[in-house]
Structures are given as C-alpha cells and as structure tokens.
Amino acid sequence: MDDLTRRSSKDAPQPPASPSGERQRGIDRVISLLEALLRQRAPTRIGDIARLINAPRSTTYEIVNRLIEADILENVGTEGHVYFGKTSHLFGRAYADANPFYRRCREALDRLVAETGATAQLCALRGRKYVVIDSRDGTGLFRITTDVGVEVPIPWTASGRLLLDHMSAEAIEGFVPPEDFRLPDGRLLDLDSFLQEVAKARCDGYCVTAGLADRFTCCLAAPIRNHSGVVVATVCFTVPVDTAPDTRKALLTRLLASAQELSESTA
C-alpha cells in the first residue's frame, strides 16, 4: 500500500458508533461508577467520580441523576456528595436471602462464633484482590478484623493462599500484582516463598498465618471447595497472635469441619 492510499484510509470518515455500541459504553460507565463508589467506601463528589472513572463530567452527572431517581444512589449532605441508596441495600438483601449457599455460610459463621467466641469471616476473591464477604465479631476484647467488602492484597492473608491453590506457579505470578507483595509495614514478601506457602496450604488443606497485615493478628483459614475441587471461598478465624497452640489447634479443627460441611453443600 502506497503513502497516498495509507493517508486516504486513515483520513477517511469513520462510520458512526452503533446504538448498541453506545448502550454498551453507557452500561460500562454505570458499572465503573458503582465500582468506584464501592472502592471509595464513602460518599463522594460527582466531579471526583468523573475523574475516577475517566468520564466527562456531564455524562457522569447524567448517570448519577438517573441512579438517584431509581434510589440506587442518594445525595448525602449538602456539598454534592452521593453514595449508595436504599435500592442498593435491597439488591444486596435479595441476594443474601435468595442464595442458598450464602445463607448456609451465614448460618455457619453464627455457629462458629457462638461455639468458639472467635471472630469468624467468610472470604473470597474479587478480581485480583481478597475481600471479606461476611463477618461475625467474636465475644472477646480482641476484635481486629478486615471490613466487609474492602479489597486487600491476596499475599497479606491466609485465605489468599488457599484461594490460589488451583493455579500453577506461573499463573499465580501473572495474577497477583507485584506491588501486592509489599506488606503494610513495608516488608516485601518473596515470590518463591509465597508460592511455597500456597503449595503447603494446598497439601495441608488449611492455612495459618501470623503477623502479616497486622503484627498482632493470627489468621486460621479453611477452604470451601466446589464439586471440581476449586476453592470458591474460605472460612477463617482471626485471633491474637499469642493464642495458645492448643487453642489454635481446637479452633482449626472446628473450622475445618465447618468448611467441609459447606463444601459438601456446593455439590
């Protein structure tokens, strides 16, 4: 192709975007907007949302106003902040009530706390991060826990090592962002050591970590597997790092039994 032909092809008018393409972009922006608010975890100015999702302010205002009309978002305060509205709550409640597996998980968390007094959590992957899906506070004074829905780097957690145990070493290296191996206190986790810990968790059928995201915390995690053997979630206890070994062993035994029951219910 000569230069003139190349220029003519490049400069030729492009066909207008199809209505379906415009609708898809609109849907993508709605999803991006809701995701941005979820990550912010707080009411946010519409102008800041536009910056976060890289969208024109006018388009963002239009989307926000429509979502406010549907009660999916609501105005918060008098300075232009918006956040999730009551319809968002109803969506989440409908999911929690209608999903039988999640209902069984909630019941399991209630039993674990009632029987042990330790903080119990249900955890899973969300994208390339770890999140707590649900949590029950323990009865003791020690209540260090991760808030529900907050995205946390996978290497910071015991559950994260189990949630990756179906992946090869190469897949894990490509999946976990390199910056996520940096712990909150500045320590850098070694990739090879992390891969060995994933392999050990796979072999043991559980994972125990201490002093990772918080130096005072010990986390015990057990896998919930689907019918294919893939870990779809974990149940875990968060306890003080100086918890006696015998107590840890008893907690782990109870946790493994609960995870096994939940795994059988996914079949």
Q: What is the pLDDT of residues 205-245, one digit of tens each?
A: 999 998 887 788 889 999 999 999 999 999 999 888 888 99
The residue behind tokens 């909150």 is 184
Residues 60 and 83 in one domain: yes
pLDDT of residue 12: 45
- Asked if the structure places residue 45 within a domain, the reply is yes
Residues 57 and 111 in one domain: no
| CA-based nearest residue to 239, from 220, 221, 254 | 220
Residue 51, domain CATH: 1.10.10.10
Residues 56 and 170 in one domain: no
User: Is 267 in a helix, a strand, or coil?
Assistant: coil
More confident residue, 85 or 16: 85
Residues 55 and 105 in one domain: no
- What is the spatial distance between Cα 130 and Cα 171, in angstroms, rounded to a whole number? 17
CA separation, residue 13 to residues 7, 16, 17, 22 (Å): 12, 9, 12, 18
Q: What residue numbers bound the domain in which 117 lies?
A: 99-266
pLDDT of residue 149: 78
Residues 28 and 109 in one domain: no
Let me know: does 46 contact 57? Beta carbons within 8 Å. yes
For residue 20, name the pLDDT band (cuts at 50, 70, 90).
Answer: low
Domain finish residue from 38, 59, 88: 88
Residues 64 and 103 in one domain: no
User: In the predicted model, what is the mean pLDDT of the chain?
Assistant: 86
Number of H helices, E strands in the chain: 10, 9
- Asked if the structure places residue 145 within a domain, the reply is yes
Residues 117 and 241 in one domain: yes
Q: Is 18 left (phi over 0), alpha (psi -120 to 50) or beta?
A: beta
Task: Give 1-34 as a DSSP string.
Answer: --HHHHHHHHHSPPPPPPHHHHHHHHHHHHHHHH
pLDDT of residue 3: 40
Q: Tell whether the model's pLDDT for residue 5 goes beyond 80.
A: no
Residues 117 and 74 in one domain: no
Single pTM value for the model? 0.77
Q: Tell whether the model's pLDDT for residue 8 goes beyond 50.
A: no
The identity of residue 73, as a single letter, is: L
